[in-house]
A and B are shown apart, each in its own frame.
Chain A
Protein backbone atom coordinates (compact mmCIF):
# COMPACT_ATOMS: atom_id res chain seq x y z
CA UNK A 1 0.00 0.00 0.00
CA UNK A 2 1.54 3.29 -1.03
CA UNK A 3 1.31 6.49 0.95
CA UNK A 4 -1.35 7.80 -1.39
CA UNK A 5 -3.45 4.64 -1.09
CA UNK A 6 -3.30 4.92 2.67
CA UNK A 7 -4.54 8.49 2.64
CA UNK A 8 -7.33 7.65 0.21
CA UNK A 9 -8.52 4.90 2.55
CA UNK A 10 -8.18 7.03 5.65
CA UNK A 11 -9.65 10.16 4.03
CA UNK A 12 -13.33 9.54 4.97
CA UNK A 13 -12.41 9.12 8.64
CA UNK A 14 -9.96 12.01 8.73
CA UNK A 15 -12.43 14.39 7.08
CA UNK A 16 -15.30 13.32 9.36
CA UNK A 17 -13.25 13.59 12.53
CA UNK A 18 -11.93 16.97 11.37
CA UNK A 19 -15.47 18.24 10.80
CA UNK A 20 -16.55 17.24 14.31
CA UNK A 21 -13.36 18.68 15.82
CA UNK A 22 -13.89 22.04 14.11
CA UNK A 23 -17.51 22.01 15.20
CA UNK A 24 -16.51 21.30 18.81
CA UNK A 25 -13.86 24.03 18.72
CA UNK A 26 -16.23 26.62 17.23
CA UNK A 27 -18.81 25.91 19.95
CA UNK A 28 -16.23 26.48 22.71
CA UNK A 29 -14.32 29.40 21.18
CA UNK A 30 -17.47 31.43 20.53
CA UNK A 31 -19.23 30.14 23.66
CA UNK A 32 -22.29 29.09 21.66
CA UNK A 33 -25.12 28.09 24.01
CA UNK A 34 -25.95 24.37 23.99
CA UNK A 35 -29.63 25.09 23.19
CA UNK A 36 -28.54 26.96 20.05
CA UNK A 37 -25.86 24.67 18.62
CA UNK A 38 -24.76 21.80 20.86
CA UNK A 39 -21.14 20.63 20.47
CA UNK A 40 -20.57 17.03 19.31
CA UNK A 41 -19.68 15.97 22.87
CA UNK A 42 -23.11 17.12 24.09
CA UNK A 43 -24.72 15.21 21.22
CA UNK A 44 -22.73 12.13 22.21
CA UNK A 45 -23.99 12.51 25.78
CA UNK A 46 -27.55 12.68 24.48
CA UNK A 47 -26.88 9.51 22.48
CA UNK A 48 -25.80 7.67 25.62
CA UNK A 49 -28.62 9.01 27.75
CA UNK A 50 -31.40 8.36 25.26
CA UNK A 51 -29.95 5.28 23.56
CA UNK A 52 -33.12 3.22 24.08
CA UNK A 53 -35.57 5.61 22.36
CA UNK A 54 -33.04 6.55 19.68
CA UNK A 55 -32.43 2.90 18.85
CA UNK A 56 -36.14 1.95 18.78
CA UNK A 57 -37.12 4.94 16.67
CA UNK A 58 -34.18 4.47 14.33
CA UNK A 59 -35.28 0.91 13.68
CA UNK A 60 -38.81 2.14 13.04
CA UNK A 61 -37.63 4.78 10.60
CA UNK A 62 -35.31 2.32 8.92
CA UNK A 63 -38.12 -0.19 8.41
CA UNK A 64 -40.63 2.33 7.01
CA UNK A 65 -37.91 3.70 4.75
CA UNK A 66 -36.85 0.29 3.48
CA UNK A 67 -40.40 -0.87 2.82
CA UNK A 68 -41.15 2.38 0.95
CA UNK A 69 -37.88 2.06 -0.91
CA UNK A 70 -38.62 -1.58 -1.78
CA UNK A 71 -41.98 -0.57 -3.24
CA UNK A 72 -40.27 2.23 -5.17
CA UNK A 73 -37.71 -0.20 -6.64
CA UNK A 74 -40.38 -2.64 -7.80
CA UNK A 75 -42.77 -0.05 -9.09
CA UNK A 76 -40.05 2.21 -10.51
CA UNK A 77 -38.41 -0.64 -12.40
CA UNK A 78 -41.71 -1.77 -13.84
CA UNK A 79 -42.83 1.72 -14.84
CA UNK A 80 -39.37 2.53 -16.23
CA UNK A 81 -39.44 -0.57 -18.46
CA UNK A 82 -42.96 0.32 -19.58
CA UNK A 83 -42.01 3.92 -20.36
CA UNK A 84 -38.86 2.79 -22.16
CA UNK A 85 -40.79 0.18 -24.11
CA UNK A 86 -43.19 2.42 -25.96
CA UNK A 87 -42.89 5.97 -27.19
CA UNK A 88 -46.63 6.43 -26.76
CA UNK A 89 -46.55 5.41 -23.12
CA UNK A 90 -43.50 7.62 -22.67
CA UNK A 91 -45.24 10.62 -24.22
CA UNK A 92 -48.37 10.00 -22.20
CA UNK A 93 -46.85 9.33 -18.81
CA UNK A 94 -43.93 11.72 -18.76
CA UNK A 95 -45.82 14.98 -18.13
CA UNK A 96 -47.91 13.22 -15.50
CA UNK A 97 -44.84 11.96 -13.71
CA UNK A 98 -43.05 15.29 -13.83
CA UNK A 99 -46.15 17.03 -12.48
CA UNK A 100 -46.43 14.43 -9.78
CA UNK A 101 -42.77 14.73 -8.88
CA UNK A 102 -43.07 18.51 -8.66
CA UNK A 103 -45.66 18.23 -5.87
CA UNK A 104 -43.95 18.72 -2.50
CA UNK A 105 -44.44 15.40 -0.76
CA UNK A 106 -45.00 17.19 2.54
CA UNK A 107 -48.27 18.40 1.02
CA UNK A 108 -49.34 14.83 0.29
CA UNK A 109 -48.92 13.56 3.85
CA UNK A 110 -52.21 15.08 5.15
CA UNK A 111 -54.07 13.27 2.37
CA UNK A 112 -52.36 10.00 3.23
CA UNK A 113 -53.28 10.52 6.87
CA UNK A 114 -56.87 11.12 5.82
CA UNK A 115 -56.87 7.80 3.99
CA UNK A 116 -54.72 5.59 6.19
CA UNK A 117 -54.50 7.26 9.60
CA UNK A 118 -51.23 8.34 11.20
CA UNK A 119 -48.06 6.32 11.73
CA UNK A 120 -46.63 3.47 9.69
CA UNK A 121 -48.56 3.54 6.40
CA UNK A 122 -48.20 7.23 5.49
CA UNK A 123 -44.46 7.08 6.30
CA UNK A 124 -43.98 4.08 4.00
CA UNK A 125 -46.03 5.68 1.24
CA UNK A 126 -44.25 9.03 1.48
CA UNK A 127 -40.88 7.26 1.26
CA UNK A 128 -42.20 5.37 -1.76
CA UNK A 129 -43.65 8.44 -3.50
CA UNK A 130 -40.52 10.52 -3.12
CA UNK A 131 -38.06 7.85 -4.23
CA UNK A 132 -39.61 6.10 -7.23
CA UNK A 133 -39.16 8.95 -9.69
CA UNK A 134 -35.35 8.79 -10.13
CA UNK A 135 -35.60 5.03 -10.66
CA UNK A 136 -38.21 5.40 -13.41
CA UNK A 137 -36.25 8.14 -15.17
CA UNK A 138 -32.98 6.21 -15.05
CA UNK A 139 -34.42 2.93 -16.26
CA UNK A 140 -36.23 4.69 -19.10
CA UNK A 141 -33.04 6.57 -20.02
CA UNK A 142 -31.06 3.33 -20.15
CA UNK A 143 -33.57 1.86 -22.56
CA UNK A 144 -33.83 5.01 -24.66
CA UNK A 145 -30.07 5.11 -25.27
CA UNK A 146 -29.66 1.71 -26.94
CA UNK A 147 -27.35 2.23 -29.92
CA UNK A 148 -29.51 2.28 -33.07
CA UNK A 149 -26.86 0.27 -34.95
CA UNK A 150 -27.10 -2.51 -32.42
CA UNK A 151 -30.87 -2.46 -32.75
CA UNK A 152 -30.45 -2.76 -36.53
CA UNK A 153 -28.07 -5.70 -36.15
CA UNK A 154 -30.60 -7.53 -34.01
CA UNK A 155 -33.63 -6.61 -36.11
CA UNK A 156 -31.88 -7.84 -39.23
CA UNK A 157 -31.60 -11.18 -37.45
CA UNK A 158 -35.36 -11.22 -36.94
CA UNK A 159 -35.26 -10.17 -33.29
CA UNK A 160 -38.57 -9.19 -31.72
CA UNK A 161 -38.88 -6.15 -29.51
CA UNK A 162 -38.91 -8.46 -26.51
CA UNK A 163 -35.66 -10.09 -27.71
CA UNK A 164 -33.97 -6.70 -27.97
CA UNK A 165 -35.28 -5.77 -24.54
CA UNK A 166 -34.02 -8.99 -22.97
CA UNK A 167 -30.67 -9.25 -24.69
CA UNK A 168 -29.69 -5.60 -24.80
CA UNK A 169 -32.16 -3.23 -23.16
CA UNK A 170 -32.30 -4.64 -19.68
CA UNK A 171 -28.60 -5.50 -19.23
CA UNK A 172 -27.49 -2.09 -20.47
CA UNK A 173 -30.05 -0.39 -18.21
CA UNK A 174 -28.67 -2.02 -15.06
CA UNK A 175 -25.91 0.54 -14.41
CA UNK A 176 -28.49 3.32 -14.67
CA UNK A 177 -30.84 1.39 -12.42
CA UNK A 178 -28.31 0.64 -9.69
CA UNK A 179 -26.98 4.20 -9.93
CA UNK A 180 -30.49 5.50 -9.30
CA UNK A 181 -30.85 3.34 -6.19
CA UNK A 182 -28.21 5.43 -4.45
CA UNK A 183 -30.28 8.56 -5.06
CA UNK A 184 -33.55 6.86 -4.26
CA UNK A 185 -32.47 5.44 -0.89
CA UNK A 186 -31.46 8.85 0.46
CA UNK A 187 -34.70 10.36 -0.83
CA UNK A 188 -36.66 7.57 0.84
CA UNK A 189 -35.25 8.65 4.22
CA UNK A 190 -36.36 12.21 3.50
CA UNK A 191 -39.86 10.95 2.76
CA UNK A 192 -40.31 8.77 5.82
CA UNK A 193 -38.92 11.41 8.20
CA UNK A 194 -41.17 14.11 6.74
CA UNK A 195 -44.17 11.92 7.31
CA UNK A 196 -43.05 10.95 10.82
CA UNK A 197 -42.55 14.55 11.85
CA UNK A 198 -46.03 15.47 10.66
CA UNK A 199 -48.13 12.47 11.49
CA UNK A 200 -46.68 9.69 13.59
CA UNK A 201 -46.08 8.64 17.16
CA UNK A 202 -42.93 6.76 16.23
CA UNK A 203 -39.76 7.23 14.27
CA UNK A 204 -36.78 9.56 14.37
CA UNK A 205 -38.86 12.39 12.88
CA UNK A 206 -41.32 12.11 15.74
CA UNK A 207 -38.51 11.81 18.29
CA UNK A 208 -36.96 15.05 17.02
CA UNK A 209 -40.32 16.82 17.10
CA UNK A 210 -40.82 15.81 20.73
CA UNK A 211 -37.25 16.78 21.65
CA UNK A 212 -37.88 20.17 20.09
CA UNK A 213 -41.08 20.62 22.12
CA UNK A 214 -39.08 19.89 25.27
CA UNK A 215 -36.18 22.06 24.15
CA UNK A 216 -33.73 19.12 24.27
CA UNK A 217 -31.57 20.47 21.49
CA UNK A 218 -28.74 17.89 21.84
CA UNK A 219 -31.35 15.13 21.37
CA UNK A 220 -32.61 16.80 18.15
CA UNK A 221 -29.08 16.73 16.85
CA UNK A 222 -28.62 13.15 18.02
CA UNK A 223 -31.66 12.28 15.87
CA UNK A 224 -30.04 13.99 12.88
CA UNK A 225 -26.81 12.09 13.40
CA UNK A 226 -28.71 8.78 13.68
CA UNK A 227 -30.43 9.56 10.36
CA UNK A 228 -27.14 10.48 8.74
CA UNK A 229 -25.57 7.22 9.87
CA UNK A 230 -28.50 5.17 8.54
CA UNK A 231 -28.36 7.08 5.27
CA UNK A 232 -24.63 6.49 4.87
CA UNK A 233 -24.92 2.77 5.63
CA UNK A 234 -27.77 2.24 3.16
CA UNK A 235 -26.06 4.32 0.48
CA UNK A 236 -22.91 2.28 0.97
CA UNK A 237 -24.87 -0.97 0.64
CA UNK A 238 -26.40 0.30 -2.61
CA UNK A 239 -22.96 1.27 -3.90
CA UNK A 240 -21.63 -2.23 -3.14
CA UNK A 241 -24.64 -3.76 -4.87
CA UNK A 242 -24.02 -1.51 -7.87
CA UNK A 243 -20.37 -2.49 -8.11
CA UNK A 244 -21.26 -6.17 -7.77
CA UNK A 245 -23.98 -6.18 -10.39
CA UNK A 246 -22.48 -3.88 -12.98
CA UNK A 247 -18.73 -4.20 -12.62
CA UNK A 248 -18.42 -4.21 -16.41
CA UNK A 249 -19.64 -0.63 -16.58
CA UNK A 250 -17.14 0.74 -14.05
CA UNK A 251 -13.77 0.60 -15.67
CA UNK A 252 -12.97 4.29 -15.67
CA UNK A 253 -9.89 5.34 -13.74
CA UNK A 254 -10.98 8.96 -13.93
CA UNK A 255 -11.75 9.60 -10.26
CA UNK A 256 -9.25 7.17 -8.80
CA UNK A 257 -6.38 9.58 -8.21
Chain B
Protein backbone atom coordinates (compact mmCIF):
# COMPACT_ATOMS: atom_id res chain seq x y z
CA UNK B 1 0.00 0.00 0.00
CA UNK B 2 1.39 3.34 -1.04
CA UNK B 3 0.61 6.73 0.45
CA UNK B 4 -1.93 8.43 -1.79
CA UNK B 5 -2.16 11.67 0.14
CA UNK B 6 0.86 12.67 2.18
CA UNK B 7 1.29 15.86 4.18
CA UNK B 8 4.81 16.19 5.53
CA UNK B 9 5.66 18.75 8.23
CA UNK B 10 3.11 21.18 6.92
CA UNK B 11 2.56 24.65 8.43
CA UNK B 12 -0.04 27.10 7.25
CA UNK B 13 -1.31 30.47 8.38
CA UNK B 14 -4.62 32.10 7.83
CA UNK B 15 -4.96 35.74 6.99
CA UNK B 16 -1.59 36.36 5.38
CA UNK B 17 -1.72 35.11 1.81
CA UNK B 18 1.17 32.88 0.91
CA UNK B 19 3.48 34.24 3.61
CA UNK B 20 4.63 33.04 6.97
CA UNK B 21 4.39 36.39 8.71
CA UNK B 22 1.19 37.82 10.10
CA UNK B 23 -2.00 35.85 10.56
CA UNK B 24 -2.40 33.02 13.02
CA UNK B 25 -0.93 29.58 12.54
CA UNK B 26 -3.75 27.23 11.60
CA UNK B 27 -1.64 24.10 11.44
CA UNK B 28 2.00 23.65 12.43
CA UNK B 29 4.25 20.71 11.63
CA UNK B 30 1.31 18.60 10.54
CA UNK B 31 2.14 15.21 9.07
CA UNK B 32 -0.40 12.70 7.89
CA UNK B 33 -0.33 10.01 5.29
CA UNK B 34 -3.33 8.29 3.79
CA UNK B 35 -3.09 5.10 1.76
CA UNK B 36 -4.88 4.43 -1.49
CA UNK B 37 -8.41 3.24 -0.83
CA UNK B 38 -8.15 3.97 2.86
CA UNK B 39 -10.87 5.65 4.92
CA UNK B 40 -9.35 8.12 7.34
CA UNK B 41 -11.17 10.27 9.89
CA UNK B 42 -9.73 13.38 11.50
CA UNK B 43 -11.18 14.50 14.82
CA UNK B 44 -10.20 17.27 17.18
CA UNK B 45 -11.38 20.21 19.24
CA UNK B 46 -13.19 22.91 17.30
CA UNK B 47 -11.01 25.42 15.53
CA UNK B 48 -8.08 23.02 15.40
CA UNK B 49 -7.46 23.47 11.68
CA UNK B 50 -9.34 20.44 10.40
CA UNK B 51 -10.80 22.39 7.53
CA UNK B 52 -7.36 23.78 6.74
CA UNK B 53 -6.18 20.21 6.43
CA UNK B 54 -8.89 19.62 3.83
CA UNK B 55 -7.88 22.64 1.81
CA UNK B 56 -4.19 21.73 1.96
CA UNK B 57 -4.84 18.15 0.88
CA UNK B 58 -6.77 19.28 -2.20
CA UNK B 59 -4.43 22.07 -3.25
CA UNK B 60 -6.97 24.80 -2.59
CA UNK B 61 -4.32 26.35 -0.34
CA UNK B 62 -0.59 25.88 -0.10
CA UNK B 63 1.54 25.56 3.02
CA UNK B 64 4.44 27.93 3.62
CA UNK B 65 6.40 25.08 5.13
CA UNK B 66 6.40 21.36 4.38
CA UNK B 67 5.08 19.51 1.35
CA UNK B 68 1.78 18.06 0.25
CA UNK B 69 1.99 15.10 -2.12
CA UNK B 70 -0.81 13.38 -3.92
CA UNK B 71 -0.01 10.13 -5.70
CA UNK B 72 3.66 11.00 -5.23
CA UNK B 73 3.53 14.43 -6.85
CA UNK B 74 4.00 17.67 -4.94
CA UNK B 75 0.87 19.68 -5.65
CA UNK B 76 1.06 23.30 -6.71
CA UNK B 77 -2.53 23.81 -7.94
CA UNK B 78 -5.98 22.54 -7.01
CA UNK B 79 -6.16 18.81 -7.66
CA UNK B 80 -8.63 17.81 -10.32
CA UNK B 81 -9.55 14.48 -8.89
CA UNK B 82 -11.27 15.33 -5.65
CA UNK B 83 -14.92 15.24 -4.72
CA UNK B 84 -15.93 17.38 -1.76
CA UNK B 85 -18.97 17.60 0.48
CA UNK B 86 -19.53 19.99 3.35
CA UNK B 87 -21.89 20.50 6.26
CA UNK B 88 -24.06 22.70 4.03
CA UNK B 89 -25.23 20.90 0.89
CA UNK B 90 -24.35 23.97 -1.29
CA UNK B 91 -26.62 22.83 -4.10
CA UNK B 92 -27.49 25.32 -6.83
CA UNK B 93 -31.11 26.39 -6.26
CA UNK B 94 -31.76 27.14 -9.94
CA UNK B 95 -30.86 23.62 -11.01
CA UNK B 96 -32.85 20.45 -10.47
CA UNK B 97 -31.31 17.69 -8.41
CA UNK B 98 -30.26 15.90 -11.58
CA UNK B 99 -28.68 19.02 -13.08
CA UNK B 100 -26.90 19.64 -9.80
CA UNK B 101 -25.38 16.19 -10.11
CA UNK B 102 -24.28 16.85 -13.66
CA UNK B 103 -22.42 20.02 -12.65
CA UNK B 104 -19.07 18.29 -11.95
CA UNK B 105 -19.30 16.53 -15.31
CA UNK B 106 -19.62 19.91 -17.00
CA UNK B 107 -16.28 20.88 -15.48
CA UNK B 108 -14.06 17.82 -15.12
CA UNK B 109 -12.02 16.63 -18.09
CA UNK B 110 -12.69 14.59 -20.14
CA UNK B 111 -16.43 14.67 -19.39
CA UNK B 112 -16.87 18.34 -20.18
CA UNK B 113 -15.94 17.65 -23.79
CA UNK B 114 -18.43 14.84 -24.06
CA UNK B 115 -21.40 15.84 -21.97
CA UNK B 116 -23.27 17.43 -24.87
CA UNK B 117 -22.83 14.42 -27.11
CA UNK B 118 -23.42 11.75 -24.50
CA UNK B 119 -25.96 13.53 -22.35
CA UNK B 120 -28.22 10.50 -22.13
CA UNK B 121 -25.39 8.30 -20.81
CA UNK B 122 -24.51 10.84 -18.16
CA UNK B 123 -28.10 11.30 -17.10
CA UNK B 124 -28.46 7.54 -16.75
CA UNK B 125 -25.32 7.46 -14.66
CA UNK B 126 -26.59 10.25 -12.40
CA UNK B 127 -29.93 8.52 -11.96
CA UNK B 128 -28.21 5.28 -11.06
CA UNK B 129 -26.15 7.08 -8.45
CA UNK B 130 -29.25 8.78 -7.04
CA UNK B 131 -30.96 5.41 -6.80
CA UNK B 132 -27.95 3.99 -4.93
CA UNK B 133 -28.45 6.52 -2.14
CA UNK B 134 -32.22 6.02 -2.05
CA UNK B 135 -33.25 9.01 -4.14
CA UNK B 136 -34.97 7.23 -7.01
CA UNK B 137 -37.02 9.53 -9.15
CA UNK B 138 -35.99 12.66 -7.26
CA UNK B 139 -33.89 14.00 -10.13
CA UNK B 140 -36.52 16.41 -11.39
CA UNK B 141 -37.08 18.04 -7.99
CA UNK B 142 -35.44 21.29 -7.04
CA UNK B 143 -33.19 21.29 -3.97
CA UNK B 144 -35.67 23.23 -1.83
CA UNK B 145 -38.24 20.51 -2.44
CA UNK B 146 -35.97 17.98 -0.73
CA UNK B 147 -35.51 17.41 2.99
CA UNK B 148 -32.18 18.24 4.62
CA UNK B 149 -31.12 14.60 4.53
CA UNK B 150 -32.03 14.28 0.86
CA UNK B 151 -30.11 17.44 0.03
CA UNK B 152 -27.08 16.05 1.80
CA UNK B 153 -27.39 12.77 -0.13
CA UNK B 154 -27.51 14.80 -3.33
CA UNK B 155 -24.43 16.69 -2.20
CA UNK B 156 -22.63 13.37 -1.62
CA UNK B 157 -23.69 12.18 -5.07
CA UNK B 158 -22.34 15.37 -6.59
CA UNK B 159 -19.03 14.66 -4.88
CA UNK B 160 -18.97 11.16 -6.40
CA UNK B 161 -20.51 11.50 -9.87
CA UNK B 162 -17.18 12.00 -11.65
CA UNK B 163 -15.73 8.97 -9.87
CA UNK B 164 -13.02 10.85 -8.00
CA UNK B 165 -10.00 9.10 -6.57
CA UNK B 166 -10.22 11.20 -3.45
CA UNK B 167 -13.32 12.09 -1.45
CA UNK B 168 -13.09 14.89 1.11
CA UNK B 169 -15.90 15.14 3.64
CA UNK B 170 -16.02 18.13 5.98
CA UNK B 171 -18.59 17.35 8.70
CA UNK B 172 -21.11 16.33 6.06
CA UNK B 173 -23.63 14.96 8.54
CA UNK B 174 -23.34 17.54 11.31
CA UNK B 175 -26.57 19.35 10.46
CA UNK B 176 -28.73 16.21 10.22
CA UNK B 177 -30.89 14.46 12.78
CA UNK B 178 -29.51 11.34 14.43
CA UNK B 179 -31.47 8.81 12.38
CA UNK B 180 -30.71 10.39 9.02
CA UNK B 181 -27.09 10.67 10.06
CA UNK B 182 -26.83 6.94 10.78
CA UNK B 183 -28.52 6.17 7.48
CA UNK B 184 -25.97 8.26 5.64
CA UNK B 185 -23.11 6.62 7.52
CA UNK B 186 -24.24 3.39 5.89
CA UNK B 187 -24.53 5.08 2.49
CA UNK B 188 -20.95 6.30 2.73
CA UNK B 189 -19.76 2.95 4.10
CA UNK B 190 -21.28 1.13 1.13
CA UNK B 191 -20.02 3.61 -1.43
CA UNK B 192 -16.52 3.32 -0.02
CA UNK B 193 -16.72 -0.46 0.01
CA UNK B 194 -18.00 -0.57 -3.57
CA UNK B 195 -15.52 1.84 -5.10
CA UNK B 196 -12.46 1.61 -2.87
CA UNK B 197 -11.88 5.34 -3.13
CA UNK B 198 -9.68 7.18 -0.68
CA UNK B 199 -11.77 9.10 1.83
CA UNK B 200 -10.75 11.78 4.30
CA UNK B 201 -13.52 12.61 6.74
CA UNK B 202 -13.30 15.57 9.08
CA UNK B 203 -15.77 15.33 11.93
CA UNK B 204 -16.67 16.20 15.50
CA UNK B 205 -18.55 12.98 15.98
CA UNK B 206 -16.32 10.28 17.47
CA UNK B 207 -18.84 7.49 16.88
CA UNK B 208 -19.05 8.49 13.25
CA UNK B 209 -15.25 8.45 12.96
CA UNK B 210 -14.89 5.05 14.60
CA UNK B 211 -17.76 3.50 12.68
CA UNK B 212 -16.50 4.58 9.26
CA UNK B 213 -12.73 4.87 9.38
CA UNK B 214 -9.78 2.55 9.05
CA UNK B 215 -7.69 4.99 11.04
CA UNK B 216 -8.66 7.94 13.22
CA UNK B 217 -6.32 10.89 13.72
CA UNK B 218 -6.71 13.18 16.70
CA UNK B 219 -5.61 16.74 16.16
CA UNK B 220 -4.35 19.15 18.79
CA UNK B 221 -5.73 22.59 19.45
CA UNK B 222 -4.65 25.35 17.11
CA UNK B 223 -2.07 25.38 15.68
CA UNK B 224 -3.14 21.89 14.70
CA UNK B 225 -0.92 18.86 14.42
CA UNK B 226 -1.54 15.14 14.80
CA UNK B 227 -1.49 13.98 18.42
CA UNK B 228 -2.68 10.41 18.10
CA UNK B 229 -3.12 7.95 15.30
CA UNK B 230 -5.58 5.19 16.20
CA UNK B 231 -6.13 2.24 13.84
CA UNK B 232 -9.67 0.90 14.05
CA UNK B 233 -9.47 -2.85 13.66
CA UNK B 234 -13.17 -3.58 13.78
CA UNK B 235 -13.95 -6.06 11.01
CA UNK B 236 -15.63 -4.89 7.82
CA UNK B 237 -18.36 -4.80 6.64
CA UNK B 238 -19.52 -3.09 9.80
CA UNK B 239 -23.13 -3.23 10.77
CA UNK B 240 -24.77 -0.30 12.54
CA UNK B 241 -25.25 -2.48 15.58
CA UNK B 242 -21.53 -2.43 16.11
CA UNK B 243 -21.81 0.99 17.68
CA UNK B 244 -23.51 -0.62 20.69
CA UNK B 245 -20.74 -3.15 21.34
CA UNK B 246 -18.29 -2.75 24.22
CA UNK B 247 -15.25 -2.77 21.88
CA UNK B 248 -16.71 0.14 19.94
CA UNK B 249 -17.51 2.12 23.06
CA UNK B 250 -14.03 1.48 24.38
CA UNK B 251 -12.42 3.01 21.30
CA UNK B 252 -14.76 5.99 21.38
CA UNK B 253 -14.01 6.46 25.04
CA UNK B 254 -10.29 6.29 24.46
CA UNK B 255 -10.50 8.88 21.65
CA UNK B 256 -12.62 11.10 23.83
CA UNK B 257 -9.87 11.04 26.43
CA UNK B 258 -7.37 12.23 23.81
CA UNK B 259 -9.63 15.09 22.78
CA UNK B 260 -10.22 16.16 26.35
CA UNK B 261 -6.46 16.28 26.87
CA UNK B 262 -6.04 18.16 23.58
CA UNK B 263 -8.45 20.82 24.74
CA UNK B 264 -6.49 21.54 27.88
Majority-rule SS of B interface residues = loop
Which of B60, B93, B107, B162 is within 8 Å of A152, CB to CB? B60
Which of B58, B94, B106 is within 8 Å of A248, CB to CB? B94
A143-169 residues with Cβ-Cβ distance < 8 A to B are: 147, 149-150, 152-159, 163, 167-168
Instruction: Report chain B residues within 8 Å CB of A156.
Output: 58-60, 78-80, 82-84, 168
Task: Find out whether the CB atom of B88 lies under 8 angstroms from the CB atom of A157.
Answer: no
Taken together as a complex, chains A and B put the C-alpha atoms of A251 and B79 apart, in Å, by 36
Task: Find out whether the CB atom of B92 lies under 8 angstroms from the CB atom of A168.
Answer: yes
Which of A149, A150, A158 is within 8 Å of B108, CB to CB? A158
Q: Please report the total number of A residues contacting B with Cβ < 8 Å.
A: 20
Does B149 reach chain A (CB closer than 8 Å)?
Answer: no
Which of B78, B90, B93, B144 is within 8 Å of A155, CB to CB? B78
Counting contact residues on chain B (CB < 8 A from A), the size range is 20 to 34
Given contacts A171-B94, A248-B142, A251-B144, contact A157 B86 (CB under 8 A): no
Taken together as a complex, chains A and B put the C-alpha atoms of A157 and B79 apart, in Å, by 7
Given contacts A156-B78, A157-B80, A171-B92, contact A149 B107 (CB under 8 A): no
> Smallest CB-CB separation from B54: which chain A residue?
A152
B201 smallest CB distance to A (angstroms): 15
Task: Find out whether the CB atom of A157 lies under 8 angstroms from the CB atom of B144.
Answer: no
Instruction: Report chain B residues within 8 Å CB of A157.
Output: 80, 82-83, 104, 107-108, 162
Q: Mark A237-248, 1 if CB is under 8 A from B, else 0.
A: 000000000101
B200-223 residues with Cβ-Cβ distance < 8 A to A are: none
Does A17 reach chain B (CB closer than 8 Å)?
Answer: no
B261 smallest CB distance to A (angstroms): 31
A235 smallest CB distance to B (angstroms): 24
Does A249 reach chain B (CB closer than 8 Å)?
Answer: yes
B106 smallest CB distance to A (angstroms): 7
Taken together as a complex, chains A and B put the C-alpha atoms of A114 and B94 apart, in Å, by 48
Task: Find out whether the CB atom of B90 lies under 8 angstroms from the CB atom of A153.
Answer: yes
Which of B88, B94, B144 is within 8 Å of A149, CB to CB? B88
Q: 6 A-B residue contacts at CB 8 Å?
A: A147-B88, A149-B84, A153-B84, A153-B158, A156-B79, A171-B92
Chain B interface (Cβ < 8 Å from any Cβ of A): 55, 58-60, 78-80, 82-86, 88, 90, 92-94, 103-104, 106-109, 142, 144, 158-159, 162, 168
List of 3 A-B pairs having minimum Cβ-Cβ separation, nearest first: A158-B80, A156-B82, A150-B90
